[in-house]
Chain A
Amino acid sequence: SQQGEEDPQALSIQEGENATMNCSYKTSINNLQWYRQNSGRGLVHLILIRSNEREKHSGRLRVTLDTSKKSSSLLITASRAADTASYFCATDGYGGSQGNLIFGKGTKLSVKP
């Protein structure tokens, strides 16, 4: 079963607007990661946030983590058409046992020029 679940499933915005995607998960984790997938391609790592961190920034990306609510959000500021892609959260699964990285179903982001 899926550990992480992204919300919304799809998001359509205009260039220059901010995009926010959310991820909820079920069990305790060590880290939470966000990945991006362009259509027909493999996934590319964006950012990793550890369970003892609350917020992390990388360029136009801002990730927050709330372990009490078992949720994370990914904010892309000043979006561009090139940000059009699917975004996935991933958590190490099942109480932090080594060996499992579980992905959510993804949020499909469309940025219109």
Chain B
Amino acid sequence: NAGVTQTPKFQVLKTGQSMTLQCAQDMNHEYMSWYRQDPGMGLRLIHYSVGAGITDQGEVPNGYNVSRSTTEDFPLRLLSAAPSQTSVYFCASSSDVYNEQFFGPGTRLTVL
């Protein structure tokens, strides 16, 4: 099993550009989530999903969109990138929010 995979590993964007961060898991997990990690801020929840077709906002959802059309995939879309979105983004999955979360390796995003 590959676990949780994220692509790309690194990305540089210009202000105003849009892009999609990909996340996929092969563990048949219902719960998936996106976090951003900034120095001194720990991990902050952006969006999460408790199953295909169901998504909800976390602590810092502004500027990001998600969808969950399949159990396996949970892409994160940046609509119009801003320098404040420079961060490391982690995707995670689990059988439910109360259990062990499996994290992907992260995407390091820089917005110029």
A102 to B98, CA, bound (A): 11
Residues of B bordering A, CB below 8 Å: 4, 33, 35, 40-45, 48, 50, 56, 58-59, 90, 92, 96-106
Q: A92-B98, A105-B40 are in contact. Are A43 and B45 (CB under 8 A)?
A: no
Asked if residues A99 and B106 are in contact (CB atoms below 8 Å), the reply is no
A103 to B33, CA, bound (A): 13
Chain A residues 78 to 113 lying within 8 A of chain B, measured CB to CB, are 88, 90, 92, 98-106
1/0 contact string of A8-45 vs chain B (CB within 8 Å): 00000000000000000000001101010000111111
Residues of A bordering B, CB below 8 Å: 1-2, 30-31, 33, 35, 40-45, 48, 88, 90, 92, 98-106
